[in-house]
Amino acid sequence: MATHGEQLYEGKAKILYATEDPNLVIQYFKDDATAFNAQKRGTIMDKGACNNKMSSHLFQLLEASGVPTHFVKQLSDREMLVKKLQIVPLEVTIRNITAGGMAKLLGIEEGIVLARPVFEWHYKSDALGDPLINDDHILALNLATSDELETIRQLSHRVNDMLSAYFAKRGIDLVDFKLEFGRHDGQILLGDEISPDTCRFWEQGTRRKLDKDRFRRDLGDVEAAYQEMLRRVLE
């Protein structure tokens, strides 16, 4: 483990530590897993190391294709050095195939290939269960500016285009995913992580689930699914 300063924040899956540089923080990836707003808790062995490696790889790929991210470098198995963000209190979800929250919200089956990607804003609040909101809510409550919303929307669609193509080449459908953004030096950067915790990955053809739904829905072989996704991402 690299030396790090005081703990700034502990979330459900990660801890943030200060560094000597006030502009940089360390993201430490835990094995802890929660679902349904932490009503279900568990551990997924080696998840922290897996999600750190996968996110580090994907952030570098996205940077190279013009998506600015908070990634600086991978420090160790479970530690990533990142630019310190003032988090925008929104979670972006993009969906390519119906599943999870969208299937439930609209009472439709999972697995329908959408005619176009569906972009959703959610208000980042554990207490409220990250409710779905629209641009008006965000602007009326000054959660972000309209320029920031436009930037986040464009970057999110670019992430979807990039990652959908990247995973398709590896035999995986990117069903949906969640992104978080923050402000750093007046610029909007992609933050958080990109991993089986934050994406739905289905094997093409079989639709075998290779993501956190195996934990959420007690499908078994959770660790193996995370390791298989890491292998596929790095190949």
Q: In the complex, which residues of this chain contact ligand TMP (CB under 6 A)?
A: 93, 99-102, 130, 176-178, 198-200
Compare residues 190 and 199 and give the one whose CB is closer to ligand TMP: 199
Compare residues 47 and 200 and give the one whose CB is closer to ligand TMP: 200
CB of 147 to ligand TMP, least distance (A): 25
Q: Which letter does DSSP use for residue 112 in this model?
A: P
| Torsion, CA 92, CA 98, CA 100, CA 104, rounded to 10 | 110
Helix-, strand-, coil-residue percentages of the chain, each rounded to 5: 30, 35, 35
Compare residues 27 and 93 and give the one whose CB is closer to ligand TMP: 93
| 8 Å CB contact between 68 and 157 | no
CB of 36 to ligand TMP, least distance (A): 8
Compare residues 4 and 178 and give the one whose CB is closer to ligand TMP: 178
Element (DSSP H or E) covering residue 160: helix 146-168
CB of 45 to ligand TMP, least distance (A): 20
Q: Which letter does DSSP use for residue 211 in this model?
A: S
Taking CB atoms, the residue at the shortest distance from ligand TMP is: 100
CB of 186 to ligand TMP, least distance (A): 27
| Torsion, CA 107, CA 33, CA 92, CA 207, rounded to 10 | -50
Compare residues 75 and 88 and give the one whose CB is closer to ligand TMP: 88
Instruction: Record the tokens describing residue 91, joined without a space.
Output: 């979670």
Instruction: Record the tokens describing residue 159, joined without a space.
Output: 């992430």
CB of 97 to ligand TMP, least distance (A): 11
CB of 176 to ligand TMP, least distance (A): 4
How far apart CA 161 and CA 117 sit, in angstroms, is 10
How far apart CA 49 and CA 176 sit, in angstroms, is 22
Compare residues 2 and 112 and give the one whose CB is closer to ligand TMP: 112
